[in-house]
Amino acid sequence: MSRETQHSYCTDAEWLGRADCRHCNIRNMMLFSGLPDTAFDRTLRPIDNFVYAPGACLYDEGQAGEAVFSIRRGLVKLLHLGADGSQRILRLLGSGSAVGLELLDGGSNYRHSAVAVSRLDVCRIPVSTIASLEKEFPELSRQERHRLQEHLDRADEWILTMGTGPARQRVAHLLLFLSRYSADPNGDVELLAGEDMAAIVGTSVETVSRIIADLKRRRLLNRVAAHLYRCDTAALEAITRDAAE
Amino acid sequence: MSRETQHSYCTDAEWLGRADCRHCNIRNMMLFSGLPDTAFDRTLRPIDNFVYAPGACLYDEGQAGEAVFSIRRGLVKLLHLGADGSQRILRLLGSGSAVGLELLDGGSNYRHSAVAVSRLDVCRIPVSTIASLEKEFPELSRQERHRLQEHLDRADEWILTMGTGPARQRVAHLLLFLSRYSADPNGDVELLAGEDMAAIVGTSVETVSRIIADLKRRRLLNRVAAHLYRCDTAALEAITRDAAE
DNA sequence: CGGTAAATTGACTGCTCTCAATTTACGTGG
DNA sequence: CCACGTAAATTGAGAGCAGTCAATTTACCG
């Protein structure tokens, strides 16, 4: 673990070295999609590559910061901590998404806390680097707008699916969401911690646990490996439509 | 009523004539804030000024469109219609906000339905006009990003306040929201229709009615005129914190 | 003043929360 | 590899909150 103390608040983070955007093999899905190879020749400040352990915090709500993170691999939760310490999760973001985009709007503080859900591989991009590239490449502005729109679409979906209806429907929506964005080719899902699922669908941990346990008994969730479940998406979608049809 | 049939789907809309952005006295709060007076000399297509009656529809979800609307005065609800015809309201937007921004991201269809809640005064801006101004004035890209970020902040607030906790807290949050964005100098609020409030906080109409009636009895909502109520914001905020402290 | 739609209220059912007990999972150290 | 301790997940019981259905009152438009 070489230089993780560059950000003292980020425990369990490991610096992997400078990112080589020019030869990045997944650039077409990242924030810098559309930029020419030569764009990165003279960036003012370095773009670093980091790995975060599950549970590690990228940044806290209200904290001053100067970097946007582009997710290469893994899952990030954006959350708000209530006065009583309880968390409410606002978004789950995976490969290709950018977090911390609110810094591009002029303010200097993050508006959520960002925490790694699974093992996380990210690029850390200084805001000043984005600002200077922006002047030269208008395509980058379009990318920023697109990523923001992506966040907005996710937030709207969140309101409609995780925030509406009885708890069963909301949990079914969550499982379908996890399956849809699963890195697994079969769409198998790694269940989140009960506390996380509760903070997403807005119910108590016990209610989520009861529902998940019931879905397992009814074989809508089938264990295919340790911590890995295959879900009966058709049946889950039926639950989703239960009252809304 | 001269040319409202320009958009056949927009009933109860009245064309007020061409907008004169150059001399717009509220341009500093609109999408075109920051653009020089001369920017509008040679726009390809006209920017029109419209008035919509309460309940009138600006556009429907999924509908193809080619215009963004900038709200001069009044309140717009963005909503999604469920398969059973029930509505879920995703955002309330007022003066200075822009709606239909999703068209700037490349797609040609609106992603929500937009309906006037109160008497509405808007400018209708063709996407092609925005695209051409964008090339000449980079400041416009920043404005677009800022308006998108505004939508995102609203959506996040929506999840945290209108989507979490017992119904009392959610209704209290809604009233405080209405008071905060009220056009009234005293912060007095015009209550929404029960169906709308239910579609915002995600409960039944009866539950909202019971809570509102109770707040009136307990003098946290005091009628100051027909359809106009002054709210005891301190007491409402106390309700808001009831369990979250 | 009448008619229709919306709001209010009541009664009852069912869902979800809270609190508590128990079981299971997991990391640690022997 | 197993035993242990801690944290998480599961399950149960009871109370309270919110949903539904239905009746009544109120508001509003012509």
Burial of B133 (0-12, 13-18, 19+ CB in 10 A): buried
Q: Which of B133, B155, B124, B141 is nearest to B42 (CA)?
A: B133
Token reading at B205: 């109409």
* A8/A22 Cα distance (integer angstroms): 29
pLDDT digits (tens, 9 = 90+) for B20-56: 888 888 998 999 998 998 898 888 788 999 999 999 9
First to last CA, chain B: 54
Q: What is the DSSP letter of B218?
A: T
- Rounded-to-10 torsion of CA B99, B105, B111, B112: -10
Interface probe with A: pick from B152, B161, B200, B240, most Cβ of A within 10 Å: B152
- Compute how many other C-beta atoms are within 10 angstroms of the C-beta atom of residue A2: 9
CA atoms within 13 A on the CB side of A221: 21
Q: Identify the residue with better confidence: B6 or A101.
A: A101
- Compute how many other C-beta atoms are within 10 angstroms of the C-beta atom of residue A131: 12
* B196/B76 Cα distance (integer angstroms): 12
Q: From the list B138, B144, B244, which residue is nearest A83 (CB)?
A: B244
- Residues contacting B206, CB < 8 A, separation 6+: none
Angle at A114 between CA A113 and CA A120, to 5 degrees: 165
Distance of CA B34 to the CA centre of its chain: 22
* A183/A17 Cα distance (integer angstroms): 25
pLDDT at A2: 32
pLDDT of B222 > 60? The answer is yes
Q: How many CB pairs under 8 A join A and B?
A: 93
> What residues of B are in the A interface, CB distance below 8 Å?
80, 82-84, 86, 88, 90, 101-102, 104-106, 111-112, 135, 138, 141, 144-146, 148-149, 151-153, 155-156, 158-160, 163-164, 202, 241, 243-245
Q: What is the DSSP letter of B163?
A: S
Name the pTM for this structure.
0.92
* 8 Å CB contact of A148 and B149: yes
- Residue A106 in contact with residue A66, Cβ under 8 Å? no
Three-state DSSP state, A172: helix
pLDDT band at A220 (very low <50, low <70, confident <90, very high): very high
* B61/A124 Cα distance (integer angstroms): 36
* Residue carrying the six token digits 């911590």: A227
The string of DSSP letters for B63-127 reads: -B--EEEEEEES-EEEEEE-TTS-EEEEEEE-TT-EE-GGGGGS--B-SSEEEESS-EEEEEEEH
Which amino acid is present at A3? R
Q: Which helix (H) or strand (E) holds B228?
A: strand B228-231
Q: How much is the average pLDDT of B5-11?
A: 39
Chain B: residue whose CA lies nearest to A111: B153
Distance of CA A30 to the CA centre of its chain: 13
pLDDT band at B4 (very low <50, low <70, confident <90, very high): very low
pLDDT at A141: 94
pLDDT at A243: 60
Residues 165-184 in A having a C-beta less than 7 A from any atom of strand C are: 166-168
pLDDT digits (tens, 9 = 90+) for B161-211: 999 999 999 999 999 999 999 988 888 999 999 999 999 999 999 999 999
* B143/B101 Cα distance (integer angstroms): 11
pLDDT at B9: 39
Token reading at A163: 């925030």
Helix residue spans in chain B (DSSP H): 127-136, 138-161, 167-180, 194-201, 205-217, 233-241
| A203 closest-nt by C1' vs CA | C16
Average pLDDT, chain B: 91
pLDDT at B147: 96
Q: How much is the average pLDDT of A220-242?
A: 94
Angle at B178 between CA B176 and CA B181, to 5 degrees: 105
pLDDT of A59 > 90? The answer is yes
CA-based nearest distance A225→chain B, Å? 34
